[in-house]
Structure 1
Amino acid sequence: MGYIRAYYEQIVKLQESEWAFIAGHFHKKVYAKNEIITQHGDTEEFLSFIESGLVRFYIPDDEYGYTFNFGFEKEFTCAYDSFLTQTPSEYEMQALTETVVWQISYDDLQKIYSHTNVGNHLGRFASEKLFLAKSKRELSLLKLTAKERYLKLFTEQPEMLKRVPLKYIASYIGITPQALSRIRRQIN
């Protein structure tokens, strides 16, 4: 849980009593490699902090589905729209490796918001961070070519290229695995 506190304290210094209250609402869970964390059609019940592992967000369709995001260590993650609205998810989350998370339920998060001043501040920060990342990705898909999107990953998210299978990278940048192979050959 120390990683969660460190994450929070990048934003605001926590009093011991605030941290004890917040920490008491998180529970550890381990997902096996390739295990589905949130199923399409299920309502997201938990906000998760990834201690270790890698999570893929995708819309199930063909062999691989349409990958549109990833979650890495030291980040909060969930099917956030489903979590906020408490409605069924339009997509799935899958652990690409064994993934250890610390989870807090929707109801427990509401308790933290209502019983601590720092909780609302932290929640706003996390929401703003998710919004900015989503906006950046959407603009990238609209403004850049597939090759430019792939090259941008080298500078902005090199960890993704090291850890995520190429078939999911291709889907993430909006192309087929074959098209990604052609781009990689052009670059080399």
Structure 2
Amino acid sequence: MIKIRDYIESTVSISDADWKLFSSKLKTRTFKKRERILNVGETEHYISFISSGIARFLIPNEDEEKDVTFGFCFENEFVSAYDSFLTKKPSLYALEALSDLTVWSVSYSDLQEVYNKTEVGNLIGRLSSERLFLIKSKREQSLLNETAEQRYLNLFTERPNLIKEIPLKYIASYIGVTAQALSRIRKRIS
């Protein structure tokens, strides 16, 4: 739990009383590699902080090779099907553990209590929402304005741990190309 407090305090100071309330609402959950955290059609009930492991956002297909990967979250980051969490509607995509995964989760109702009873709860919520929005916006701009090669190069400038820990087929899907096209890109730039 100390990682979560450190993460929060990298942006805003949190009092011991506020931390005590927030941390009392956290519950630990674990997932095995390739286990679904959330399936399409399920409603997201949690925002989770990754203590260890990697999660993948995907739109599944009957043919697994045609799954569309559109995001990753790593250790010391928050993960959630946030639109489903906010609207309380079924998710149109899935979340999957790419490795053994341990998270600290807070439910929607508990988070509302934290917002209402702490001095910094709303600020933490706003900053987390802004971060999620910026990541989403940057990805959309990238898909519209950059070549696949530029997206690949930018990905490893910004998130070098991807190349070591994520299977290439998921990276290919994430940048919007086939595995064969990614192989050609990698050959061209090496």
- TM-score, normalised on structure 1? 0.98
Map 1:107-186 to 2 at 5 A. 107-186=109-188
Q: Secondary structure at the match of 1:117?
A: coil
Q: 2:58 — aligned with what?
A: 58
Structure 2: gaps spanning 5 or more residues: none
Map 1:24-39 to 2 at 5 A. 24-39=24-39
Q: 1:44 — aligned with what?
A: 44
Q: Can you list the C-alpha shifts for 1:23-69, whole angstroms capped at 9, x where unaligned?
A: 00000111001000011000001110000000000001132410000
Once residues 118 and 20 of structure 2 are traced to their aligned partners in structure 1, the CA distance between those partners, rounded to angstroms, is: 11
Moved more, 8-17 or 76-85: 8-17
Say what the alpha-carbon RMSD is for the aligned residues: 0.8
* Correspondence for 1:77 among 72, 76, 79: 79
Q: CA deviation at 1:117?
A: 2.1
Q: Secondary structure at the match of 1:154?
A: helix
Once residues 21 and 153 of structure 2 are traced to their aligned partners in structure 1, the CA distance between those partners, rounded to angstroms, is: 43
Q: 1:105 — aligned with what?
A: 107
Q: Secondary structure at the match of 2:25?
A: coil
Q: 1:96 — aligned with what?
A: 98
Once residues 187 and 11 of structure 1 are traced to their aligned partners in structure 2, the CA distance between those partners, rounded to angstroms, is: 37
Once residues 98 and 40 of structure 1 are traced to their aligned partners in structure 2, the CA distance between those partners, rounded to angstroms, is: 21
How much identity, in percent, do the aligned residues show?
53
Q: 1:8 — aligned with what?
A: 8
Aligned length: 188
Structure 1: gaps spanning 5 or more residues: none
- TM-score, normalised on structure 2? 0.97
Q: After the TM superposition, which parts of structure 1 deviate over 4 Å for at least 4 consecutive aligned residues? A: none
Q: What amino acid maps onto 1:97 in structure 2?
A: S
Once residues 140 and 20 of structure 2 are traced to their aligned partners in structure 1, the CA distance between those partners, rounded to angstroms, is: 38
Q: CA deviation at 1:155?
A: 1.1
